[in-house]
Protein backbone atom coordinates (compact mmCIF):
# COMPACT_ATOMS: atom_id res chain seq x y z
CA UNK A 1 0.00 0.00 0.00
CA UNK A 2 1.48 3.36 -1.03
CA UNK A 3 0.15 5.32 1.99
CA UNK A 4 0.38 8.57 0.04
CA UNK A 5 4.15 8.42 -0.37
CA UNK A 6 5.78 10.45 -3.11
CA UNK A 7 6.61 8.89 -6.45
CA UNK A 8 10.33 9.14 -5.65
CA UNK A 9 9.79 7.30 -2.37
CA UNK A 10 7.80 4.54 -4.05
CA UNK A 11 10.53 4.18 -6.65
CA UNK A 12 13.16 3.77 -3.95
CA UNK A 13 10.99 1.18 -2.21
CA UNK A 14 10.56 -0.75 -5.43
CA UNK A 15 14.32 -0.73 -5.99
CA UNK A 16 15.05 -1.79 -2.43
CA UNK A 17 17.32 1.25 -1.97
CA UNK A 18 16.14 2.47 1.41
CA UNK A 19 16.76 2.37 5.16
CA UNK A 20 13.85 1.81 7.51
CA UNK A 21 13.13 2.35 11.22
CA UNK A 22 10.05 1.95 13.41
CA UNK A 23 8.79 4.84 15.52
CA UNK A 24 6.68 3.83 18.52
CA UNK A 25 4.63 6.07 20.80
CA UNK A 26 3.21 4.68 24.06
CA UNK A 27 0.65 6.70 26.02
CA UNK A 28 0.78 5.87 29.74
CA UNK A 29 0.31 8.16 32.75
CA UNK A 30 -3.26 8.91 33.80
CA UNK A 31 -6.31 9.45 31.63
CA UNK A 32 -6.54 13.07 32.76
CA UNK A 33 -2.82 13.69 32.22
CA UNK A 34 -1.26 11.11 29.86
CA UNK A 35 2.49 10.76 29.45
CA UNK A 36 3.60 9.74 25.95
CA UNK A 37 6.92 7.96 25.44
CA UNK A 38 8.61 8.05 22.03
CA UNK A 39 11.17 5.45 20.94
CA UNK A 40 12.72 4.20 17.71
CA UNK A 41 14.71 1.12 16.78
CA UNK A 42 16.79 3.23 14.39
CA UNK A 43 20.41 4.20 14.91
CA UNK A 44 19.69 7.87 15.56
CA UNK A 45 16.95 10.03 17.07
CA UNK A 46 14.09 10.89 14.70
CA UNK A 47 11.90 14.00 14.84
CA UNK A 48 8.39 13.64 13.43
CA UNK A 49 5.61 16.22 13.95
CA UNK A 50 7.77 17.95 16.60
CA UNK A 51 8.02 14.71 18.62
CA UNK A 52 11.52 13.28 19.16
CA UNK A 53 11.73 9.47 18.99
CA UNK A 54 14.74 8.37 21.03
CA UNK A 55 17.24 5.84 19.68
CA UNK A 56 18.41 4.92 23.18
CA UNK A 57 18.16 1.15 22.84
CA UNK A 58 15.03 0.87 25.01
CA UNK A 59 12.90 -0.40 22.10
CA UNK A 60 14.06 -4.00 21.80
CA UNK A 61 11.60 -5.16 19.16
CA UNK A 62 8.02 -5.61 18.02
CA UNK A 63 6.15 -8.25 16.08
CA UNK A 64 5.67 -7.92 12.34
CA UNK A 65 2.52 -6.07 11.28
CA UNK A 66 0.44 -7.82 8.62
CA UNK A 67 -2.62 -6.69 6.69
CA UNK A 68 -5.46 -8.45 4.90
CA UNK A 69 -8.91 -7.62 3.60
CA UNK A 70 -10.76 -9.20 6.53
CA UNK A 71 -11.83 -7.41 9.71
CA UNK A 72 -9.97 -9.28 12.44
CA UNK A 73 -8.10 -8.73 15.67
CA UNK A 74 -4.59 -7.63 14.80
CA UNK A 75 -2.26 -8.01 17.76
CA UNK A 76 1.44 -7.67 18.42
CA UNK A 77 3.92 -7.77 21.27
CA UNK A 78 6.03 -4.70 22.02
CA UNK A 79 9.26 -5.35 23.91
CA UNK A 80 11.15 -2.69 25.87
CA UNK A 81 14.25 -2.79 28.01
CA UNK A 82 13.53 -3.24 31.71
CA UNK A 83 16.39 -0.84 32.37
CA UNK A 84 13.81 1.86 31.72
CA UNK A 85 12.43 2.04 35.26
CA UNK A 86 10.39 5.13 34.38
CA UNK A 87 7.99 3.19 32.15
CA UNK A 88 7.76 0.27 34.60
CA UNK A 89 6.96 2.62 37.48
CA UNK A 90 4.42 4.53 35.36
CA UNK A 91 2.63 1.35 34.25
CA UNK A 92 2.52 -0.13 37.75
CA UNK A 93 1.37 3.07 39.47
CA UNK A 94 -1.03 4.46 36.86
CA UNK A 95 -2.17 1.34 35.01
CA UNK A 96 -1.54 0.18 31.45
CA UNK A 97 -4.74 -1.38 30.12
CA UNK A 98 -6.34 0.22 27.04
CA UNK A 99 -3.54 2.78 26.63
CA UNK A 100 -2.79 3.73 23.04
CA UNK A 101 0.22 2.51 21.08
CA UNK A 102 1.04 3.87 17.61
CA UNK A 103 3.64 2.38 15.29
CA UNK A 104 4.99 4.40 12.36
CA UNK A 105 7.45 3.35 9.69
CA UNK A 106 10.09 5.95 8.79
CA UNK A 107 12.14 5.77 5.57
CA UNK A 108 15.42 7.21 4.28
CA UNK A 109 17.21 6.59 1.01
CA UNK A 110 20.73 5.17 1.03
CA UNK A 111 22.15 8.71 0.89
CA UNK A 112 20.45 9.54 4.19
CA UNK A 113 17.70 11.78 2.78
CA UNK A 114 14.24 11.41 4.36
CA UNK A 115 11.78 9.69 2.03
CA UNK A 116 8.71 9.87 4.23
CA UNK A 117 6.76 8.03 6.91
CA UNK A 118 3.45 6.24 7.30
CA UNK A 119 1.50 4.83 10.22
CA UNK A 120 1.23 1.05 10.13
CA UNK A 121 -0.51 0.19 13.39
CA UNK A 122 -2.67 1.64 16.15
CA UNK A 123 -3.86 -0.40 19.10
CA UNK A 124 -4.52 -0.56 22.82
CA UNK A 125 -2.43 -2.31 25.48
CA UNK A 126 -4.13 -5.53 26.59
CA UNK A 127 -1.48 -7.07 28.82
CA UNK A 128 1.90 -6.46 30.42
CA UNK A 129 4.68 -8.77 31.57
CA UNK A 130 8.01 -8.03 33.26
CA UNK A 131 10.79 -10.55 32.92
CA UNK A 132 14.09 -10.47 34.80
CA UNK A 133 16.98 -12.88 34.63
CA UNK A 134 20.59 -12.79 35.72
CA UNK A 135 21.71 -10.35 33.06
CA UNK A 136 18.58 -9.12 31.28
CA UNK A 137 15.40 -7.25 32.14
CA UNK A 138 12.50 -6.77 29.75
CA UNK A 139 8.97 -5.41 29.81
CA UNK A 140 6.49 -6.65 27.22
CA UNK A 141 3.18 -5.09 26.24
CA UNK A 142 0.56 -7.11 24.41
CA UNK A 143 -1.27 -4.76 22.06
CA UNK A 144 -4.48 -5.36 20.07
CA UNK A 145 -6.47 -3.18 17.69
CA UNK A 146 -9.99 -1.89 18.36
CA UNK A 147 -11.65 -5.06 17.03
CA UNK A 148 -10.56 -6.81 20.23
CA UNK A 149 -13.33 -4.97 22.11
CA UNK A 150 -16.08 -6.64 20.08
CA UNK A 151 -15.60 -9.98 21.84
CA UNK A 152 -14.99 -8.61 25.31
CA UNK A 153 -17.50 -9.12 28.11
CA UNK A 154 -18.85 -5.98 29.66
CA UNK A 155 -17.72 -5.01 33.13
CA UNK A 156 -14.78 -3.60 35.02
CA UNK A 157 -12.70 -4.45 38.06
CA UNK A 158 -14.16 -2.89 41.19
CA UNK A 159 -10.99 -1.38 42.57
CA UNK A 160 -9.55 2.09 42.98
CA UNK A 161 -7.12 1.94 40.05
CA UNK A 162 -9.77 0.84 37.56
CA UNK A 163 -12.18 3.51 38.77
CA UNK A 164 -9.55 6.25 38.49
CA UNK A 165 -8.76 5.12 34.95
CA UNK A 166 -12.32 5.80 33.79
CA UNK A 167 -13.44 8.44 36.32
CA UNK A 168 -10.47 10.39 37.64
CA UNK A 169 -11.17 11.85 41.09
CA UNK A 170 -14.06 9.49 41.93
CA UNK A 171 -13.21 7.85 45.28
CA UNK A 172 -16.09 5.39 45.53
CA UNK A 173 -13.73 2.37 45.50
CA UNK A 174 -11.05 3.93 47.67
CA UNK A 175 -11.54 1.40 50.48
CA UNK A 176 -12.89 -1.50 48.40
CA UNK A 177 -9.72 -3.53 48.97
CA UNK A 178 -10.36 -3.56 52.74
CA UNK A 179 -13.81 -5.10 52.59
CA UNK A 180 -14.28 -8.84 52.23
CA UNK A 181 -17.88 -8.89 53.45
CA UNK A 182 -20.34 -10.62 51.15
CA UNK A 183 -23.68 -8.94 50.48
CA UNK A 184 -26.68 -11.05 49.54
CA UNK A 185 -29.38 -9.56 47.35
CA UNK A 186 -32.88 -10.94 46.94
CA UNK A 187 -34.70 -13.54 49.00
CA UNK A 188 -37.97 -13.75 50.88
CA UNK A 189 -39.09 -10.59 52.68
CA UNK A 190 -40.90 -11.32 55.92
CA UNK A 191 -42.54 -9.20 58.59
CA UNK A 192 -40.19 -7.92 61.30
CA UNK A 193 -40.20 -9.75 64.64
CA UNK A 194 -42.37 -8.32 67.44
CA UNK A 195 -40.84 -5.28 69.05
CA UNK A 196 -38.47 -4.54 66.14
CA UNK A 197 -39.93 -1.14 65.33
CA UNK A 198 -36.84 0.03 63.44
CA UNK A 199 -37.67 -2.12 60.45
CA UNK A 200 -40.72 -1.42 58.31
CA UNK A 201 -43.37 -4.07 57.84
CA UNK A 202 -42.38 -6.46 55.10
CA UNK A 203 -38.68 -6.21 55.92
CA UNK A 204 -36.07 -3.59 55.21
CA UNK A 205 -35.71 -3.00 51.43
CA UNK A 206 -32.06 -2.06 52.01
CA UNK A 207 -31.39 -5.51 53.49
CA UNK A 208 -33.35 -8.00 51.37
CA UNK A 209 -33.92 -11.32 53.05
CA UNK A 210 -33.67 -9.82 56.55
CA UNK A 211 -35.67 -11.56 59.24
Q: What is the pLDDT of residues 94-140, one digit of tens each?
A: 988 889 999 998 988 877 888 888 888 888 998 899 888 777 888 99
Question: pTM (2 decimals)?
Answer: 0.64
> How distant is the alpha carbon of residue 121 from its chain centre?
14
182: number of Cβ within 10 Å: 5
Q: Find out whether 140 and 129 touch, Cβ atoms under 8 Å.
A: yes
Q: What is the pLDDT of residues 44-55, one digit of tens each?
A: 999 999 999 999
Q: DSSP letters along 28-60, please?
A: EE-SSSEEEEEEESSSS-EEETTEEEB-SS-EE
d(CA 182, CA 178): 12
> How distant is the alpha carbon of residue 60 from its chain centre?
18
Amino acid sequence: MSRGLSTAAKTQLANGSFVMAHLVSIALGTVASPTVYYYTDGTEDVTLNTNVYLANGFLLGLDAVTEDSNMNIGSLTLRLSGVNQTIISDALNNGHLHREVIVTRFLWNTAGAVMGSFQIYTGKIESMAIGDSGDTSQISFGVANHWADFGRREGRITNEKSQQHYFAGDLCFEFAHGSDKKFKWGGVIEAPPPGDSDRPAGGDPLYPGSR
